[in-house]
């Protein structure tokens, strides 16, 4: 059966750790589904650009592409930047934009994986409050999604969960840590709800100095790779159904 190329679209960053993490995630996606062609592109700062990859695919005779924004919420980049660049795709390409990654139970599982890798365990949940720290957005829809994810994470057994933001929104990570301390929470962990290292994740880490535990970014967690393939399959299903 014909399978469209999966084009992963990352935001990009001047920080080289960002691109390295994205490429590690893409390698895990390829390993989970051998035979699927997966290409990596970036909106800014890093090559190859989305335009360049689309041009190359068209020149190779590729006809079908599923473009997957490597984004956790439907904020400005998903609503404006990605559709705008896809509109410039060569006419010979049929491109479908997949949904962003969040929300998803797989993301919650990835967050908890990182918390466990940082030294916590299921037995620690009842005495540990978590700051779910995202990059931040001025988009109300994105903010609401982060708040809902924090509520869902709380329902997995952590004694308290507070959302925080590195930019655009409040509270900041350090404020959420202090709020949990003020509530008498014995242990505080910061869980970055971001995919790759960079300026904003570094800001989250700086704000976590008052916490007991700082988890890693989601990175190339296996749950994240599964989620990319899930979004790809959903886009293909919609295309087959004519949606």
| Listed residue (90, 103, 115, 68) closest to 213, CA to CA | 115
| pLDDT beneath 50, residues of the chain | 243
Pair 156, 87 in one domain? no
Contact 213, 17 (CB under 8 A): no
Pair 65, 132 in one domain? no
Q: Give buried/exposed letters for 27-44 (b at 16+ CB in 10 A, else e).
A: ebbeeebeeeebbbbbbe
Pair 78, 116 in one domain? no
The total number of structural domains that make up the chain: 2
The whole-model pTM stands at 0.93
Structure tokens at 164: 């925080």
pLDDT score of 167: 92
Q: In what side-by-side order are the strands of the sheet with 38-42?
A: 38-42, 5-10, 64-69, 94-97
Q: Residue holding tokens 């995919």?
A: 195
Domain that holds residue 113: 105-214
Residues 20-73 have pLDDT tens digits of: 999 999 999 999 999 999 999 999 999 999 999 999 999 999 999 999 999 998
Pair 128, 64 in one domain? no
pLDDT score of 177: 98
CATH at 163: 3.40.50.1400
Structure tokens at 162: 């507070």
CA triple 160-197-226, angle to 5 deg:
75
Pair 208, 232 in one domain? no
pLDDT score of 138: 84
Alpha carbon 137 to its chain centroid, in Å, reads: 14
| Listed residue (51, 48, 47) closest to 82, CA to CA | 51
Residues in the chain, total: 243
Pair 110, 208 in one domain? yes
């Amino acid at each position: 059966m014909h399978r469209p190329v999966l084009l992963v679209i990352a935001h990009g960053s001047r920080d080289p750790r960002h691109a390295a993490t994205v490429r590690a995630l893409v390698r895990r996606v390829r390993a989970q589904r051998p035979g699927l062609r997966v290409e990596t592109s970036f909106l800014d700062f890093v090559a190859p650009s989305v335009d360049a990859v689309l041009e190359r695919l068209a020149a190779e005779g590729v006809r079908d592409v599923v473009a997957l924004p490597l984004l956790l919420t439907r904020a400005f980049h998903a609503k404006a930047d990605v559709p705008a660049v896809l509109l410039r795709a060569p006419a010979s390409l049929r491109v479908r934009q997949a949904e962003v990654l969040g929300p998803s139970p797989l993301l919650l599982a990835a967050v908890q994986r990182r918390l466990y890798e940082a030294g916590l365990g299921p037995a620690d949940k009842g005495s540990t409050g978590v700051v779910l720290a995202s990059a931040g957005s001025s988009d109300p829809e994105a903010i609401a999604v982060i708040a809902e994810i924090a509520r869902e994470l709380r329902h997995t057994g952590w004694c308290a969960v507070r959302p925080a933001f590195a930019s655009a929104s409040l509270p900041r990570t350090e404020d959420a840590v202090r709020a949990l301390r003020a509530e008498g929470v014995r242990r505080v962990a910061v869980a970055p709800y971001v995919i790759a290292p960079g300026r904003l994740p570094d800001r989250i880490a700086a704000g976590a100095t008052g916490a007991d535990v700082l988890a890693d970014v989601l990175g190339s967690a296996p749950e994240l790779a599964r989620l990319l393939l899930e979004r790809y399959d959903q886009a293909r299903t919609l295309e087959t159904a004519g949606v």
